[in-house]
Amino acid sequence: MSEQWIFLNGSYVNKEEAVISVYDHGFLYGDGVFEGIRSYGGNIFRLNEHLVRLYESAKSIMIDIPYTQEEMTQILVETLRKNNLKDGYIRLVVSRGVGDLGLDPANCRKPSVIVIAEPLRIFPQELYDSGIEIATVATRRNRSDVLNPMIKSLNYLNNILVKIEANLAGVQEALMLNDQGYVAEGSADNIFLVKGDKLLTPPGHVGALVGVTRNTIIEIAGEKGYEVEEAMFTRHDVYTADEVFLTGTAAEVIAVVKVDGRVIGEGKPGPVTNDLLSSFREITLTDGVKVYSESLHVS
Ligand code: PMP
pLDDT given for residue 297 in this prediction: 45
Q: Which one-letter DSSP state was computed for residue 262? A: E
Torsion of CA 221, 226, 227, 228, to 10 degrees: -30
Measured by CA distance, the residue closest to atom 6 of ligand 1 is 188
When pLDDT is averaged across residues 192-205 and rounded to a whole number, the result is 95
Measured by CA distance, the residue closest to atom 9 of ligand 1 is 189
On the question of pLDDT at 296 being above 60, the answer is no
Burial class (CB in 10 A: 0-12, 13-18, 19+), 269: buried
pLDDT given for residue 293 in this prediction: 64
Ligand 1 centroid–CA 215 distance in Å is 11
Atom of ligand 1 nearest to the CA of 212: 15
pLDDT given for residue 123 in this prediction: 83
67-93, pLDDT tens digit by residue? Answer: 999 999 999 999 999 999 999 999 999
Atom of ligand 1 nearest to the CA of 149: 3
Confidence band, pLDDT 50/70/90 cuts, at residue 194:
very high
29-49: burial string, b at 16+ Cβ within 10 Å, e else = bebbbbbbbbbbebbbbbbeb
Atom of ligand 1 nearest to the CA of 215: 14
All CATH 3.30.470.10 domain ranges in the chain, comma separated: 5-121
Confidence band, pLDDT 50/70/90 cuts, at residue 298:
very low
Measured by CA distance, the residue closest to atom 12 of ligand 1 is 211
Ligand 1 centroid–CA 49 distance in Å is 12
5-121 CATH fold: D-amino Acid Aminotransferase; Chain A, domain 1 (3.30.470)
Residues with CB under 6 A from ligand 1: 36, 159, 185, 188-190, 209, 211-214, 247-249
128-158, pLDDT tens digit by residue? Answer: 999 999 999 999 999 999 999 999 999 999 9
216-251, pLDDT tens digit by residue? Answer: 999 999 999 999 999 999 999 999 999 999 999 999
pLDDT given for residue 299 in this prediction: 39
Ligand 1 centroid–CA 187 distance in Å is 8
pLDDT given for residue 176 in this prediction: 98
What is the rounded CA–CA span in Å between residue 47 and residue 50? 5
What is the rounded CA–CA span in Å between residue 291 and residue 192? 31
3-state secondary structure labels for all residues of 20-69? CCCCEHHHHHCCEEEEEEEEECCEEECHHHHHHHHHHHHHHCCCCCCCCH
All CATH 3.20.10.10 domain ranges in the chain, comma separated: 125-284
Confidence band, pLDDT 50/70/90 cuts, at residue 1:
low
253-274, pLDDT tens digit by residue? Answer: 999 999 999 999 999 999 999 9
Q: Among 159, 163, 139, 160, which residue's Cα sits nearest to residue 149?
A: 159
Give the active site residue among 152, 224, 258, 268.
Answer: 152
152 as an active site residue: the answer is yes
163-179, pLDDT tens digit by residue? Answer: 999 999 999 999 999 99
125-284 CATH fold: D-amino Acid Aminotransferase; Chain A, domain 2 (3.20.10)
Ligand 1 centroid–CA 101 distance in Å is 30
Q: Which one-letter DSSP state was computed for residue 153? A: B
Global confidence as pTM: 0.95
Number of Cβ atoms within 10 Å of the Cβ of 127: 15
Confidence band, pLDDT 50/70/90 cuts, at residue 202:
very high
> For residue 241, which amino acid is it?
A
Pocket test for ligand 1, best of 209, 247, 283 (most atoms within 8 A of CB): 209
Ligand 1 centroid–CA 102 distance in Å is 30
Pocket test for ligand 1, best of 140, 249, 277 (most atoms within 8 A of CB): 249
Ligand 1 centroid–CA 297 distance in Å is 31
